[in-house]
Amino acid sequence: MTKAIVNAGSGLNLRDKPGGLTIGSLSKGTVVALLDRDGSWWKIRAGRQSGFVAARYVSVILDTDTLKPGAIVVRGRDVIGPDGRVFAKTFRRGVFNCGQMSIHDYVAKHSYRFTHLSDSLLRVMQAVSANEGKLEAINTWDNAFLTFGCFQWTAGTGDSAGELPALIARLKKEKPNAFDTFFKDAGLDVAAGGETSPEKWNIADELRVLDLYLELRHKTSMTDSRKRAQRTLDVVRQGLASDQRNSFDSTPQA
C-alpha cells in the first residue's frame, strides 16, 4: 500500500469527506496510508483514524525496496530521494526546495548547541537570517550547477569550483563521521583547499572592498540586491550588528 508523509507546517485537518467537517488533526511528519484519490483530496488512514486530507499537504513515499541504491526518481513534479521521501520539486530544467528552517529559528530552537559561541556571533547569525535562505534549501535550475543551504553555497558555474566544496571540506575535517555518513558512503569526496585572511586591513580597506562587492553584485542576476544590502544596513543602524573592524568578539558566553 502506498504511503505518504504529512508536510503541513502547522498540522493537517482530517475531514469526514472532501472539504467536509474536521474530525481530527495530523501533525507534520505523520506517515499515513493512501487509500483513494478524489480530485485534490486523498482518502487516508492514520492508525485507527481514516478520512480525507488535502493532497497538497502530503508527500508520497515510495517503496524503497523497488528503487536501486542511490536512485532519485521524478514522479510528476515530485523529486524523490533514495529514502523514498520527496525532497524537491521540478522547475524548468532543474529542481528546487525552498526549505523550512531559518537560521534564526534554528538558533532559537537549539540554543543549547551554541553555548560555546559569543553573543557577537549569535547576533550576526540572527541578523543575516531574514536576508538568507533556509537550511534545507536546494536548487539546480539557475546558472550554478548546484546551490545549497541558507547561504546559497554553489558547486560553481562553468569552470568555477564555487563555495560548496570548501564547506564540505570543512565538514570532512571537523566532523568526519558526519561526512562519511552523508557524503563518503554515497561515493562523494572533496579535496580541501586553502584560504587567506587579510589581517592587515583597516576599516577603510574593508569598507572599500564592501562597496566594490555591492557594486559588482548589483550587476549580477541576484534578486533585489540593493534591498538585501539595505536590510543588512538597517540591522547595523538598529545596533544588532556593527560595521566596525574588530567589533566582532569570539569570546564564548559566560
DSSP character string of the chain = --EEEE--TT-EEEESSTT--EEEEE-TT-EEEEEEEETTEEEEEETTEEEEEEGGGEEEE--GGGSPTT--EEETTEEE-TTS-EEEEEETTEEEE--S--HHHHHHHTGGGGTTS-HHHHHHHHHHHTTS--TT-EE-SSSSS-EETTTTEE--STT---SHHHHHHHHHHH-HHHHHHHTGGGT-----------TT--HHHHHHHHHHHHHHHHTSS-TTHHHHHHHHHHHHHTTSS--STT----PPP-
Just give the CATH number of 3-61: 2.30.30.40
pLDDT tens across the length of the chain (254 residues): 678 888 887 789 999 999 999 999 998 878 888 998 888 899 999 888 899 999 888 887 766 555 555 677 777 788 877 766 788 888 888 899 988 888 888 888 888 888 888 888 888 888 888 888 888 899 988 888 888 888 888 887 776 777 888 888 888 989 999 998 888 887 788 875 544 456 777 787 778 777 877 787 777 887 888 888 888 888 888 888 887 877 777 777 66
User: Which pLDDT value is given to residue 196?
Assistant: 47
User: Which pLDDT value is given to residue 66?
Assistant: 54
User: Which pLDDT value is given to residue 70?
Assistant: 62
- Please report, for the chain, the start and end positions of each structural domain, with discontinuous segments joined by +: 3-61, 64-91, 95-200
User: Which pLDDT value is given to residue 195?
Assistant: 42
User: Which pLDDT value is given to residue 15?
Assistant: 94
